Amino acid sequence: MLATMPTPADLVLLPQWVVPVEPSGALADHAVVVRDGAILDVLPADTASARYDARETLALPGHVLIPGLVNLHGHAAMTLLRGFADDLPLMAWLNERIWPAEKRHVSEAFVRDGTLLAVAEMLAGGTTTCNDMYFFPEAAGEAFLQAGMRATLGMIALEFPSTYAADADGYLARGLAVRDALKDEALLTFAFAPHAPYTVSDATFARINTLAEQLGVPVHCHLHETTDEIADSLRQHGVRPMERLARLGLLGPNFIGVHAVHLDESEIDTLAAHGCHVAHCPSANLKLASGFAPVAAMLRAGVNVGLGSDGAASNNRLDLFAEMRLAALLAKGASGDAAVLPAVAALRMATLDAARALNLDDRVGSITPGKRADLVAVDLSAPACQPVFDPVSHLVYVAGRDEVTHVWIDGRPKLHQRHLVDLDTDDLAARAAYWRGKLAQGQP
């Protein structure tokens, strides 16, 4: 009888635990096999060497291997505004500090440099996919591709002029042109990104709704972030923002509402009935004093909730480990139920649930054969992480982004032994210093 020849593979990873997310829980002493940028197999480690002939095998003792984290909402280039406008409520933050600075400084170079800085932070913290909303998405796309990071680029729309476009038609025209130019890039997908109900007209929302249905892409929009937003909508439109969007046909399985802090019970039921998604940004909600999103009620109603960092100007970190922990703790404290949003659910919100909102759950979000090999190794061997009874619990309540040691996207290393592979951190620091000088002096 002829012996079976081992199957060729590119990489075999041998962590102490694999947390595939789907199914939930942890697998001890399992291997993850990668070939051609995809996950080929997940199997017991003691059989992997006999079954596969890998070009590289990496043992990761004391580590847990997880899917790459998915940041469901951010403004990557705003990393250059980190700490620029702190301790202000949302509208004062926007009107008095952020929007005037953006009017003076935002350009293709600003967005490219700021996005690269954000990518370095996200990759080092285990985030492999992000959903971005900002001006000059073509420059952001160049930065994501340079670093080899997966991203959904927002085709932003506003009514007021900026250095990017003069009006809503101009924003949409430029966004669609970027999509046409970059739609064949495997790492990039696209979403319409109307900023918010208070900055976008009914006519623009209606046009976006038609285009989104034609192109089959998500719509990504701030929604019910503050009580002032709701009061202004009642004065101007006679209805709350979500009701306005519902009447315009925006709500559906491709709609991602960002923040969704101030929802009543009927609005939660409406989101669930329409199959909408919510990007929950707990740190930004707290820092801007926007409030406490009713996450427990949304989950009970069946709303799909993913986690986002928001921008570094309002967080001030792009750290999904911090968001997982905070989301779980806030949900427990606000609901009075310690069992609500357990660790396994918080991790899913930062991976598969966020991927689902972006229509990427067939590619990323879990360690499943056939999906792309976007993987993160987290070291739980330090004394501060001992003892380990449940590695999933430790990922949410104990470990942080500093425990991330390795990151792969499409099976390619992006972080190795805590060092970024494709990005020059000295160059990024110099770029950040350049923009800090301009912003601090108020130069155009």
433-444 pLDDT, tens digit each: 999 999 998 755
Q: How confident is the model at residue 418 (pLDDT cuts 50, 70, 90)?
A: very high
Looking at the domain assignment, is residue 89 inside a domain?
Answer: yes
Task: For 101-120, write each residue's pLDDT tens digit.
Answer: 999 999 999 999 999 999 99
434 assigned to some structural domain = no
User: Do the domain assignments include residue 321?
Assistant: yes
Q: Which of 373, 364, 429 lies closest to 406 in space, CA to CA? A: 373
At residue 184, the pLDDT reads 97
Q: What is the mean pLDDT of the chain?
A: 96
pLDDT attached to residue 426:
97
Question: Is 208 within a domain?
Answer: yes
Number of H helices, E strands in the chain: 17, 17
Contacts of 56 (CB under 8 A, 6+ apart): 10, 11, 12
- Choosing from 293, 326, 357, the residue where a domain stops is 357
Q: What is the secondary structure of 243-301 as a DSSP string? A: HHHHHTT--STTEEEEE--S--HHHHHHHHHTT-EEEE-HHHHHHTT-----HHHHHHH
**Same domain (yes/no): 286, 155:** yes
Range of the domain at 41: 7-67+371-410
Does one domain contain both 95 and 56? no
Residues 59 and 162 grouped into a single domain? no
For the chain, the C-alpha Rg in angstroms (whole number) is 22
Q: Are residues 168 and 307 in the same domain?
A: yes
Tell me how far apart the alpha carbons of residues 131 and 152 are, in angstroms, rounded to a whole number: 5
Residue 95: both structure tokens together: 């009107």
> Is 364 contained in some domain?
no
Reported as a single tens digit per residue, the pLDDT across 361-416 is 999 999 999 999 999 999 999 999 999 999 999 999 999 999 999 999 999 999 99
Provide the pLDDT confidence category of residue 230 given band limits of 50, 70 and 90: very high
In terms of domains, do 225 and 79 share one? Answer: yes
User: Looking at residue 189, which CATH number applies to its domain?
Assistant: 3.20.20.140
Residue 2 has pLDDT above 60, yes or no: no
Under 8 Å CB-to-CB from 223, ≥6 apart: which residues? Answer: 196, 197, 241, 242, 245, 257, 258, 259, 260
Is the per-residue pLDDT at 31 higher than 70?
yes
Is 432 contained in some domain?
no
Distance CA 206, CA 248 (A): 6
Which pLDDT belongs to residue 91? 86
What is the total count of domains within the chain?
2
pLDDT, position 443:
55
Please give the share of the chain, as a percent, with pLDDT higher than 90.
95
Q: From residue 86, how far is each of 195, 316, 321 by CA, in Å?
A: 21, 9, 22
Is residue 76 pLDDT above 80, yes or no? yes
Whether residue 165 is found in the same domain as residue 288: yes
CA angle (240 as vertex; 282, 288 as ends), nearest 5: 25
Q: Does 261 reside within a domain?
A: yes
pLDDT in tens, 301-347: 999 999 999 999 999 999 999 999 999 999 999 999 999 999 999 99
Question: What is the distance between the alpha carbons of residues 325 and 398, in angstroms, rounded to a whole number?
Answer: 8
Summarised one tens digit per residue, pLDDT across range 11-21 is 999 999 999 99
Place 89 in a pLDDT band, splitting at 50, 70 and 90.
Answer: confident
What is the pLDDT, as a whole number, of residue 379? 98
- Asked whether residue 226 falls in the same domain as residue 244, the answer is yes
User: Average pLDDT for residues 127-138, to the nearest whole number?
Assistant: 98
Cα gap 104→137, rounded to integer Å: 18
Say whether both 129 and 273 belong to one domain. yes
Q: Which two tokens stand for residue 433?
A: 């210093």
Q: 139 with 108: CB under 8 angstroms?
A: yes
Is the model's pTM score more than 0.95? Answer: yes
Q: Give the pLDDT of residue 1.
A: 41
365 domain residue, yes or no? no
d(CA 270, CA 172): 28
Q: Which of 223, 319, 236 is nearest to 268 (CA)?
A: 223
The yes-or-no verdict on residue 268 having pLDDT over 50 is yes
Assign 3 a pLDDT band (cuts: 50, 70, 90): low
CATH number, domain with residue 53 = 2.30.40.10
Kindly state whether residues 24 and 130 are assigned to the same domain.
no
Same-domain pairing of 245 and 375: no
Burial label, 151 (beta-carbon count in 10 A; 0-12, 13-18, 19+): buried
The widest CA-to-CA distance across the chain, in whole angstroms, is 82
**63, 116: one domain:** no
What confidence tier does 150 reach under pLDDT thresholds 50, 70, 90? very high
Are 59 and 203 found together in one domain? no
